[in-house]
Amino acid sequence: MTGKQLIQQKPKLNLKPNLLLGIFLLTLALPLPFATNSLAQQQAGQYQRRIFDAALYFTLYFEGGFSNHPADKGGRTYRGILQTEYDAYRYSRGLPPLDVARISESELLEIYQSYWNNSRAGSMHPALAIVMFDTAVNFGISNSVTFLQQALGLPQSGIFDDRTMKALASANNKNTAFQVINERIIYRYKRVQEDPSQMAFFRGWLSRDYSLWGYVEKIKN
């Protein structure tokens, strides 16, 4: 199947029932129109937090637990965090190395919060925010920006520059979220064509992408 065909076809959705809990988190976040300024600010913070929680719920669902597959170029991984990434995190805080499988919940949340912040997901439409966050975790922050730039029809620098911000301002919507997912799917096909050893992960990758499509499609407007 060609990349063009992938873009034209809407994926067959196979949204797993447990993921509906994450969608429910979003329904609790709607701000009230009659709120005062201070209350509105508080609600805005709560709204952003619930979008983050919904994004994290999806990502952790697919990242699973411990993994050290011989074909996985990332190596030892626990709940989506690479051992090398965890080593760098611990080093930056003056802490000794530790097996990533022993990462604490607070450390895990802090690392994932950095993905959220550095991908600028918090400034995006809820659907795009969730897609951007999952893409940053799955591919790296720079690559998530590259996927976004592809979706926006921009040159791919992997840097969230002024041109990207300007283009996003007029396309900060669910359609862009879907296009980022399409770019991910196209990349998956290219990846296994270039490196057949990655076929071991292909079905799981597509399951994640199609589930992400169904997950954010449930978000209204």
What pLDDT digit, counting tens, does each position of 85-123 carry? 999 999 999 999 999 999 999 999 999 999 999 999 999
Please report, in tens digits, the pLDDT of each residue of the chain (221 residues total): 434 333 344 444 444 545 555 555 554 444 444 445 666 667 667 888 899 999 999 999 999 888 877 777 888 999 999 999 999 999 999 999 999 999 999 999 999 999 999 999 999 999 999 999 999 999 999 999 999 999 999 999 999 999 999 999 999 999 999 999 999 999 999 999 999 999 999 999 999 999 999 999 988 77
| 95-101 LR contacts (CB < 8 Å, sep 24+) | 100/76, 101/66, 101/76
| 198-204 LR contacts (CB < 8 Å, sep 24+) | 198/71, 200/69, 200/71, 201/69, 201/71, 201/72, 204/62
Backbone phi, then psi, for 82, in 5-degree steps? -75, 150
Q: Which residue has the tokens 């805005």?
A: 44
Strand intervals (E) in 99-183: none
Residue 185 per-residue DSSP state: H
Residue 98: its H or E element? none
The amino acid sitting at 120 is: R
Angle between helices 37-63 and 20-27 (to 10 degrees): 170
The amino acid sitting at 212 is: L
